[in-house]
Chain A
Amino acid sequence: GNPQNLKCVTHNLHEMICTWDFSSRGRHGQTDFCYTTNDLTPQVCFKTKERRVEIPVPESSSTVTIKSSGTAFATKEFVIHQKDISFVPVTPHILSLTPDFSTSTLNLKWSDNGSVFPYGLDAIWQIQILRKETMEEVTQVTYYSKLTHEDLILSWNWSSDMPLECTSHYVKIRCYINATQFVGPKDWSEWSPAEMIPGKDTEPGESGVFPLDTVVAVGSDVTFCCVHEEDQHITNMTYGSKPYKMIQLSSRSHAIRVLNASASDTSGTNVVCHLKNGMDGTVVFVGYAPDIPQNLSCETSNFVIIKCTWKPGRPSGLYGERKTKYSLFERMSGKNVSCEVNEMNRDRACGFPVLPDQKTYDFILGVSNPIGQAQSSLLVDITQRVHPKTPEKLTVIENNSTSIQMRWFINGSFAGIRLLCQIEVSSGHSERRLHNVSMPGGKFSTYTARVNALHPYTKYQFRVHCSAADHFWRWSDWSRVMEQTTAEAS
């Protein structure tokens, strides 16, 4: 029989695999195979027992002569044009498929086998995710890359809508290379063999409800599954106290799908798997990502600690080890402070140490919880944000008929600034009047002032509050009232 049906396929645009058969059955013994390419290089011949040879891909065409020496000699010549050669890339090889159970993601790594192709070709990859014992397709994703004439390891992540423990997951990949210069028909490669991540439902004796103790955002759609032992029988699954329709994943795994989850109570929402004898469960905490902190403001009352306050926005609904955490980072010094905040009270505050020789602070208040994070920033000159502590120990140090000298103490280190204090003077029948006095700040020290133009033998009430003199920010609270009667006129 004559050689016929010569077909050539290339996997790398360099070499092609040609196959043929014979017009009649019978023994065909050894074959003499000769080929020449169109640039008139000398004919190359060799013997083969196969019906398949690997020869170079021609620029435009090759002439092939197949002489078989079986029961009857038969020789056939073929002219193969590039347009007759199919280009089917080599089946991709998955290097690794790595599960991250905590985030229910799969990481796929494969080689793009780019070294065998010219630089710059576009490659298209189709990745198929399958699930369950029946290997049902979950999704098929297209991924694009460019070949660089080197073997690159490509990496791709897939987030499952279901915990990976629930049932086995499989991944397959194939590729298509857009060899624009190649005129022959181009096709997808074969699918790679499926790589598998076994679910807990394939492991003897394993059981549990998944995801285990997870945190999700309000409004999420969440799939929970119950993996039970071989001899167990599941009766129903509840979310909170509500039973949900079950989806069977395998003989040992059932799932429920909760849509648009609402905020959970402080102790979380129980997801319970009721079994013939017993139950299993998990807890999900449904809350909010932290809001961007509002009205961030920082001041110091003593030039020792800077106190920043802010409005937290909507409560996250997460508590304990899942609660929102706050940290104050100062860009210039690089210092970071984590703030201890009680989730239950509305106002939020955090202390940051005043740093030696630093007036300006570039704060970033970072806020994060398992669902998300946010931040606010504030650039502040702390000498312009002085809110002194309440003056203490207001006492008289000298008293005569028309004036009184008094002293008070302010807890703080104000050596770098001037203070402005107001002494409020009042007495039974006269109007209150304010006596302003400014003085250099001291370091945890006392301050004195004299009030004049008083009436003799008259009982007065005095109190004092202070602020920064040069850049007013806020008055301290008033000191306690001190009562004093002026001396009698002499």
Chain B
Amino acid sequence: MAAADSPSAALRRRDLCSRGIRLAGKMRADVVDLLDAYVERQGLDASASVAAVEGVPLAAVERWDEQTGTQRLLENLAAYRAFRALLAQMLDEQREQLGEADAGLGRALAAVLLQVSAFAYHLEELLRLESRGIPGEEEDGPPPPPRLSIFEQKLRGLGVLRELAQWAVRSARDLRQLAKPSPATGAAPGLAESP
């Protein structure tokens, strides 16, 4: 059982959590804007149903209440690392397909990628705070996905952005959960304990 936080660690964690919550909120707003622009620029049907995107952990999780703090952070970190790779690939494909033609969409994509990278780093900070080992990233990153057709790229992009918007909501909830003081001691519990 991990010992309860020292006051300064608890303060630091609550600060990181609240900053994380704000970052997640901003990210969600930007992703929703990007999603609208993406659907319109890619000529897609906003109501199109898209299969789950390979390599993207689903935001929806069963028994969310029962997750420990560490599980929450580790799942969040895995998700945002996956999004970072997928968004980077979307940016490459965007440049390849459109070049300079749709710089606006490219900039918006790059901005969200930056936020996702920042959020992943933020999660690593939280894990470091708990002297939790940070899972190494696969040496050379996820295996390159199969070459998709342009339409499949468009649909995958839609799926990635939709899922990222969901994750931003979940992350904010997860961080709020982490920031809650433990009912017994009033001090913020160590990650392992906090459900």
Q: Which residue of A lies closest to B43 (CB)?
A: A270
Residue in A213, A266, A279, A323 whose CB lies within 8 Å of B149? A213
Residues from chain A with Cβ under 8 Å of B150 in the complex: 213, 268, 282-283
A356 at the binding interface (Cβ < 8 Å): no
Q: Which residue of A lies closest to B94 (CB)?
A: A320
Residue in A267, A270, A272, A278 whose CB lies within 8 Å of B97? A267
Residues from chain A with Cβ under 8 Å of B48 in the complex: 279
Residues from chain A with Cβ under 8 Å of B44 in the complex: 270
The minimal Cβ–Cβ distance linking B188 to chain A, given in whole angstroms, is 46
Q: Which residue of A lies closest to B103 (CB)?
A: A344
The minimal Cβ–Cβ distance linking B79 to chain A, given in whole angstroms, is 25
B149 and A320 contacting across the interface, CB-CB below 8 Å = no
Q: Which residue of B lies closest to A212 (CB)?
A: B149
List which B84-102 residues lie within 8 A (CB) of chain A.
Answer: 95-102
Q: Which residue of A lies closest to B50 (CB)?
A: A279
User: What CA separation (Å) do A241 and B43 show in the bound complex?
Assistant: 8
| Interface size counted on chain B using CB atoms at 8 A | 22
Interface string of B149-182 (1 = CB under 8 A from A): 1110011000000000000000000000000000
Interface string of A196-239 (1 = CB under 8 A from B): 00000000000001001100000000000000000000000000
Known: A283-B150, A283-B151. A265 touches B43 (CB 8 A): yes
A485 at the binding interface (Cβ < 8 Å): no
User: What CA separation (Å) do A240 and B51 show in the bound complex?
Assistant: 21
List which A153-175 residues lie within 8 A (CB) of chain B.
Answer: none
The minimal Cβ–Cβ distance linking B42 to chain A, given in whole angstroms, is 5
List which B126-157 residues lie within 8 A (CB) of chain A.
Answer: 149-151, 154-155
B45 at the binding interface (Cβ < 8 Å): yes
A20 at the binding interface (Cβ < 8 Å): no
Residue in A270, A271, A319 whose CB lies within 8 Å of B100? A319
The minimal Cβ–Cβ distance linking A263 to chain B, given in whole angstroms, is 13
Q: Which residue of A lies closest to B152 (CB)?
A: A281
Known: A267-B41, A267-B97. A282 touches B149 (CB 8 A): yes
Residues from chain B with Cβ under 8 Å of A281 in the complex: 151, 155
A343 at the binding interface (Cβ < 8 Å): yes
Residues from chain B with Cβ under 8 Å of A265 in the complex: 41, 43
Residues from chain A with Cβ under 8 Å of B42 in the complex: 267, 270
List which A259-292 residues lie within 8 A (CB) of chain B.
Answer: 265-272, 278-283
Residue in A240, A282, A321 whose CB lies within 8 Å of B151? A282
* A-B contact list, 9 entries, CB within 8 Å: A212-B149, A241-B45, A270-B44, A282-B149, A319-B100, A320-B99, A320-B101, A343-B99, A344-B101
3 cross-chain pairs, A with B, having the tightest CB-CB distances, nearest first? A319-B101, A281-B151, A266-B101
User: Chain B residues in contact with chain A, CB under 8 A?
Assistant: 41-45, 48-49, 51, 95-103, 149-151, 154-155
User: Chain A residues in contact with chain B, CB under 8 A?
Assistant: 209, 212-213, 240-241, 265-272, 278-283, 319-321, 323, 342-344
